[in-house]
Amino acid sequence: MGEDGSAVTDERIPVVPGFARRVPPGSARSTRKEAGKALRKQVPRSSHDSLTLSAGRPDAVRAVEESNRGRVPELAPLRVGRMAATPFAFLRGAAGLMAHDLVRTPVTGAGAQICGDAHAANFGLYGDARGRLVIDLNDFDETVVGPWEWDVKRLATSLVLAGREAGADEDTCRSGARDAVGAYRRTMRLLSKLPVLDAWNAIADEELVSHTDARDLMGTLERVSEKARKNTSARFAARSTEIVDADGDGDGGGRGGRVAQRRFVDAPPVLRRVPDEEAAAVAAALGEYVDTLSEDRLPLLARYAIHDVAFRVVGTGSVGTRSYVVLLLDHLGEPLVLQVKEARASALLPYVEAAGFETPAAGHEGRRVVCGQKRMQVVSDNLLGWTTVDGRPYQVRQFRNRKGSVDPAALPADQIDDYARMTGALLARAHAHSVDPRFVAGYCGKNDELDEAVAAFAVAYADRTEADHAELVEAVRSGRIAAEQGV
Summarize pLDDT for 390-444 with one digit per residue, the tens: 999 999 999 988 888 889 999 999 999 999 999 999 999 999 999 999 999 999 9
Whether this prediction's pTM lies above 0.85 is answered by yes
Element (H, E) at 314: none
All structural domains of the chain with their residue ranges:
28-228+409-478, 233-398
Distance (Å, whole) CA 363 – CA 361 = 6
Task: Please state whether the peptide bond connecting residue 269 to the residue before it is cis, i.e. omega within 30 degrees of 0.
Answer: yes
Q: What is the pLDDT of residue 469?
A: 98
Instruction: List, in sequence order, every residue forming a beta bridge with 339; answer none if it has no partner.
Output: 325, 397
Q: What is the pLDDT of residue 256?
A: 46
Q: What is the pLDDT of residue 141?
A: 95
- Among residues 110, 106, 80, 76, the alpha carbon closest in space to that of 92 is found at 80
Distance (Å, whole) CA 146 – CA 216 = 34
Kindly give the parts of the chain with pLDDT less than 50: 1-8, 206, 253-259
Contacts 24+ apart (CB under 8 A), 388-393: 388/285, 388/288, 388/364, 389/281, 389/282, 389/285, 389/322, 389/340, 390/281, 392/322, 392/342, 393/342, 393/343, 393/364, 393/365, 393/366, 393/367
Quick one: how far is CA 332 from the chain centroid? 34
Instruction: List, in sequence order, every residue forming a beta bridge with 133; answer none if it has no partner.
Output: 127
Contact call for residues 204 and 135 (beta carbons, < 8 A):
yes
- Among residues 356, 358, 458, 336, the alpha carbon closest in space to that of 88 is found at 458
Q: What is the pLDDT of residue 470?
A: 98
